[in-house]
């Protein structure tokens, strides 16, 4: 049997030099018992469609088929390839028979091959050598860093970029400036400022007596609403003076206010034309009224407590 296999193998070597439409070869011609190798079959498909032989579980009585790949095209000349994984559990030289393929309208046959299966090494007593136990090496940080060098470098680059971006954004962000709290202007100063602005308009000097005195009394009425919490803008002069009797405003200030409001009513409603001295006295009286009735520091402290 072994001599016949050798003769087939020598014949196969002679046929390799000839041009063949189908070709077969072993990835490894020698394997250990139970190891696997690949049987590679190629055929020229340019001559027509290729019909491959059907595969069973065994190639021969001594050679077992483990699996087979799909048929692939490996070149622009139409070379088709199929890889069959085989193994054997008997030692010796075993013939791999030729494969017969149908290419177009003719048949093609691969060369026969020879597979050498060697036994497993035995010890001095004839028993199979036991596998040596795996040696677990201690963890090495340096080895781990070498194995993951690409990932570590990439992570370092990403972190550096993120840090640089954070610094740039922080530098470009405008610093919030603390705005000082607006100073609260006392009521009497605000009203005196309104009176000064009215005087700068020089309305009565231009003959606009009614507009001048109307604006002046409106400023006073607004001041009274804020200072004494009386709806002065919605009341007539007599109604306002009546309500002020129960207010904390002193009697002499009520009388002084009444004189100014009545004099202004003559100009607004009776179309009386005041003299320059009367207009000036009205402004001076309004300023004096605001200064005398303003909230003093002592009064404000008493109200807060």
pLDDT > 90 fraction of the chain, expressed in percent and rounded = 50
Residue 305, burial from CB neighbour count under 10 angstroms (0-12, 13-18, 19+): exposed
pLDDT at 303: 45
Residue 257, burial from CB neighbour count under 10 angstroms (0-12, 13-18, 19+): buried
Instruction: State the Cα–Cα distance between residues 81 and 57, nearest whole angstrom.
Output: 20
pLDDT > 70 fraction of the chain, expressed in percent and rounded = 83
Instruction: State the Cα–Cα distance between residues 99 and 108, nearest whole angstrom.
Output: 8
> Which own/partner contact pairs does 198-202 have at CB distance under 8 Å and 24+ positions apart?
198/283, 199/283
Residue range 228-236: mean pLDDT, rounded: 89
Please indicate whether residue 65 or residue 128 has the higher confidence score (pLDDT). 65
Which of 7-21, 53-67, 149-163, 252-266 is the least confident region?
A: 7-21
Tens of pLDDT, residues 119-156: 877 666 666 666 677 777 788 888 888 888 888 899 99
* pLDDT band, residue 1 (cuts 50/70/90): very low
Q: Share the mean pLDDT of the chain.
A: 83
Residue range 216-224: mean pLDDT, rounded: 93
- What pTM, to 2 d.p., does this model score? 0.41
Instruction: State the Cα–Cα distance between residues 194 and 12, nearest whole angstrom.
Output: 122
Alpha helix ranges (H) inside 61-186: 141-147, 149-172
pLDDT at 25 over 90: yes
pLDDT at 197 over 90: yes
Please indicate whether residue 130 or residue 42 has the higher confidence score (pLDDT). 42
Domains, the chain, ordered by start: 2-118 (2.60.40.10), 187-295 (no CATH)
pLDDT at 129: 64
* pLDDT band, residue 104 (cuts 50/70/90): confident
């Amino acid at each position: 049997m072994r001599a016949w296999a050798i003769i087939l193998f020598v014949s196969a070597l002679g046929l390799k030099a000839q041009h063949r439409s189908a070709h077969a070869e072993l990835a490894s011609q020698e394997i250990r018992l139970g190891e696997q190798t690949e049987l590679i079959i190629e055929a020229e498909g340019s001559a027509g469609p290729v019909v491959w032989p059907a595969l069973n579980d065994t190639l021969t009585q001594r050679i077992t088929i483990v699996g087979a790949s799909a048929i692939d095209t490996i070149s622009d000349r139409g070379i088709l390839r199929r890889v069959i994984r085989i193994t054997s559990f008997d030692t010796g030289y075993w013939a791999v028979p030729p494969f017969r393929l149908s290419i177009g309208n003719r048949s093609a046959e691969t060369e026969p091959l020879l597979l050498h299966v060697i036994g497993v090494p035995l010890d001095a007593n004839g028993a199979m050598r036991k596998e040596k136990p795996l040696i677990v090496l201690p963890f090495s940080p340096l080895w781990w860093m070498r194995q993951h060098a690409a990932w570590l470098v990439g992570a370092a680059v990403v972190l550096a970029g993120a840090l640089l971006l954070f610094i740039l954004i922080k530098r470009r962000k405008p610093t919030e400036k603390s705005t000082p709290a607006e100073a609260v202007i006392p009521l009497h100063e605000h009203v005196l400022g309104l009176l000064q602005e009215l005087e700068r308009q020089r309305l009565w000097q231009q003959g606009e007596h009614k507009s001048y005195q109307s604006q002046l009394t409106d400023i006073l009425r607004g001041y009274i609403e804020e200072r004494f919490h009386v709806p002065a803008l919605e009341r007539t002069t007599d109604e306002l003076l009546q309500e002020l009797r129960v207010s904390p405003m002193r009697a002499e200030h009520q009388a002084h206010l009444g004189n100014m409001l009545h004099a202004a009513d003559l100009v607004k409603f009776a179309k009386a034309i005041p003299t320059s001295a009367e207009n000036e006295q009205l402004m001076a009286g309004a300023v004096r009224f605001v200064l005398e009735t303003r909230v003093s520091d002592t009064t404000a402290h008493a109200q807060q407590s």
